[in-house]
Amino acid sequence: MTPPTPLLVFAGSTRAQSHNRKLAQVAADLGRAAGAQVTLLELADHELPLYNADLEARGTPEAARRLKAIFHAHPAWVICSPEYNGSYTGLLKNTIDWVSSPIKGDPEWSSGTKPFAGKVVGLLSASPGALGGLRSLSHLSPLLLNLQCWLTPKQYALSKAGEAFDDQGRLISGLAQAAVQGVVEQAIHAARKLNAPD
pLDDT band at 196 (very low <50, low <70, confident <90, very high): confident
Question: Where along the chain do its domains lie?
Answer: 6-194
Entry pTM: 0.96
Percent of the chain with pLDDT over 90: 96
Sequence-separated (6 or more) residues with CB below 8 Å from residue 20 = 11, 12, 13, 80, 81, 82, 124, 125, 126, 133
| Average pLDDT of the chain to the nearest whole number | 96
Confidence of residue 99 (pLDDT cuts 50, 70, 90): very high
Beta partners for 87? 84
Q: How confident is the model at residue 85 (pLDDT cuts 50, 70, 90)?
A: very high
Q: Which of 30, 10, 25, 170 is nearest to 78 (CA)?
A: 10
Query: What residues does 79 pair with on adjacent strands?
Result: 10, 123
| pLDDT tens digit sequence for 126-174 | 999 999 999 999 999 999 999 999 999 999 999 999 999 999 999 999 9
- Band (pLDDT 50/70/90 cuts) for residue 198 is low
- pLDDT for 44 equals 97
d(CA 110, CA 132): 37
What are the pLDDT digits (tens) for 53-76?
Answer: 999 999 999 999 999 999 999 999
- Is residue 176 within 8 A of residue 23, CB to CB? The reply is no
CB of 18 closer than 8 Å to CB of 11: yes
Per-residue model confidence as pLDDT tens digits over 150-160: 999 999 999 99
Strand partners, 158: 126
pLDDT band at 197 (very low <50, low <70, confident <90, very high): confident
CB 112 within 8 A of CB 101: yes
- How far does Cα 85 stand from its chain's mean position? 19
Closest-CA residue to 127 (of 156, 160, 154, 169): 160
CATH number at 6-194:
3.40.50.360
